[in-house]
Structure 1
Amino acid sequence: MTTGRGGASELMLRLLRSTTWRSVLWVLVCVLAATMAAATFDGRRGGSAEEVSDLGLLVWLVGILLAVSVVWRRRWPHSLGVLAAVVTIAAPLDPVAGLVLLMHAVMRERSWRTAALTALVLAATWVSTWRDLQGRTHLESFWRIFSQDTTDMTPPDQGPAPWWLPPVIAVAMVAAAVATGWFRSLLAEARQEGADHQAQAHLLGDQVARQTEREQLAREVHDALGHRLSVMAIHAGALEAHSSSSTDPLARSARLVRESASQANADLRDLLATLRSPDEPTTPQQGIDAVGDLVDESVESGMPLIATVRLDDTRTLHPQVSRSVYRMVQELLTNARTHAPGHGVRLVVRASAAAGIDIETANHVSDPHRRHSRPAGGSSGHGLPGIHERVQLVEGEMYVWLDDDQVHRVAIHLPWVPAGPAAEQVASGDAR
């Protein structure tokens, strides 16, 4: 039963919102008005109530055409309104069609065209009402119906109507049409404003929900990784303290682990701050000038690495591109350390405003799955798709392949984007 009621309510709501039933209603009203106008016209000419004259039939057909034109009231309200007003003045018809078109013209726009149409419809209504009140009985005049007994087939002559009655009726009818159109226009604007506010409320609700999810994710990441990194740093510090000397390889490894854990903890806090408030600026991140530190850390950790780093005038490089280069080199070294442990790595980083930025790595792999080149985005390495995305964000190029000597090679070229307002189109690739 609930489903049936819901379906009936939805069907009723759609019918109320549909313009089809309104069009049918307005056409029927205009047809009725045209029929009464044709009948009273024959009555004023002394015709019989049982027979319709040819001229009365012609007037009725013209009224039917005006009634049908109301269907296009929303598309051409001004043009059809002018036509209806002119026809009403020229032919003995009621001004109902013109009033309906005027109402929709006011709903559509409030301009000089609407004001001119209002004056023309007022004149047509005045003429039509004056012409109708020339009849002396309700058989000859529509407005006499309100002052005579309509059951009397031979009503008495009521005499001429007061001179002021036609203009009063005309002003009242036109004012009602304009007020109705104005009210419906304000109602439509209020409905649209309400829909906009509802959409904005939904958007704010989605933002709050996403912010809540970020907060929850940040807490989970902090609880899971922050504690482990802190424990790692503590144990590495204890191992370093109990070493025999500071030059002991074990002491150097322990110090490197402790410093890496502390740096990872700091990076984690920055990432969590960005996750909680993505629109707020965070602490400065490392850029291309810190690539040398990455090389030193990798060598100290025991990684067999041969690196060539040449950086020229990096202060003029856009900070976003600078951070992206650092993250790319970091990910490339991590990728080589993870997937090819113990194998030598060759790293080349060259950056200059004239030649752009080139990053190359090469390392032997122990278990290659392919011997042919493959697209960067389709690499099986976990970090290469992320690097490829950063390269695309700064409109660079990236190539990944495995040569015949079982050497995994990565070559990246990035354009040199100078710092300043002209480089604001660089997307937030570091956040990706």
Structure 2
Amino acid sequence: MRRKKRGSHFDLPEDEADIQVNPDQAGEAAGVSPPGNSRRKKKKRIPGWVYRVIVILAVAALGVVVWFNRDNLTLEKISLWIQEKVVGSGIGDGYPYAIDNGEIAVKNFGAWGQDSVFVSDSYLTVLNATAKEVVSRQHSFGSPVLKTAGDKALIYNLGGTGYQIEAYASTVRKESAEAKILAGALAANGSYALLTEGEGCYGQLMVYTAQNEEKFLYRFSKYYPTSVSLNAAATEALVTAVSAQDGGLVSVVYKLDLSQEGEAQPVAEYSENLLFDSFFYADGSGAAVGDAGAVLLDTAGKAEKFDYQGAELTSYTGKDGLTAFCLSPYENAASGELVILSGSGQKAFSVELQAVLKSVSIFGNTVAVLGGGEVRAYSIAEGTALSTAEAGSDSRAVALLDESNAYVLAMSEIRRLELAAAE
């Protein structure tokens, strides 16, 4: 059967009329490469060796990261990190948080990472950003003192023998010292130190590893030790100590190398000034705080004295190589001065305020001071006002959790403040 192709002057067989011609094939048959095929020929595959080089570089980079963080990649630390994330999750009722677990001393309140932490006369409590209790553990210390560093917290019984080390997930260690505890310190790597009374000496310093192994012992034969602090790696310690000489009071500062044995000599001495606290900073500098003045130590251990010039110390803190002092011209004066010094004793920032300065906190380049029922924040580097917030007339202490948010300890509650821009 035949059909006539429309528009054609000749007839084709039906099977030939239905043949579909591939343009590519037609072009190839004519000896011409079609455009599409030409593009396919030009496309090049990435050589396999490039992928191998990328894999090798990625593995090398991961190895470098692991090497520099090897101290933090122990099984214990990884386990604690996982437990912290699990325990720390959850939503609370929000701030303010009503305090119903007893009285809280100002020195036992602060920020622990992004959380608020405090120790009352009966409990250790940690609250997350929504005021959920992520930690609530009872203790039996009559005079508890709280120290935090890294992912651990140390609580010791001042004048007693009990102490315990806490993590988010559980109590890591609960022990009793052999003698009454005079002071304690915690390092970022989990090591800790205790100053205790000692038989046949004025006191002794014992430093332990994170695994609770004793690594250093020093017995003081000339001075009574009053405070201790450790650097982040627990390789050095600052100790303040006092003694009576020629009818007067003398305070000294020791900078102890924990790898060295034998008697050490003080690096600084201060007359008629009771040094009672100390800070050791990550850069190797440090500070010792007294009732009439302070001692600042640079990274080389050189000491500079800072005299309060008869002013009263109302609050102080230290962080990131800076030490802050709140000074009042006399007791209960309605004015005061905030001074921040570097480890070399240089003044980094100062401001006079018309308020009783109750508390001070440092985070990064920001310092926050509590006074007159307000929290005022300043840039340390620029010396300018950054922000302010109402804290309440019953507020007692402030703790920055970052450069724009703070926790406040009040008489009966914990508050969280967002620091608005200053006018």
Q: What is the TM-score when the length of structure 1 is the normalising length?
A: 0.23
Q: What is the TM-score when the length of structure 2 is the normalising length?
A: 0.23
The answer to which structure has the higher helix fraction is 1
Question: Which structure is richer in relative contact order (CA contacts within 8 A, separation 6 or more)?
Answer: 1
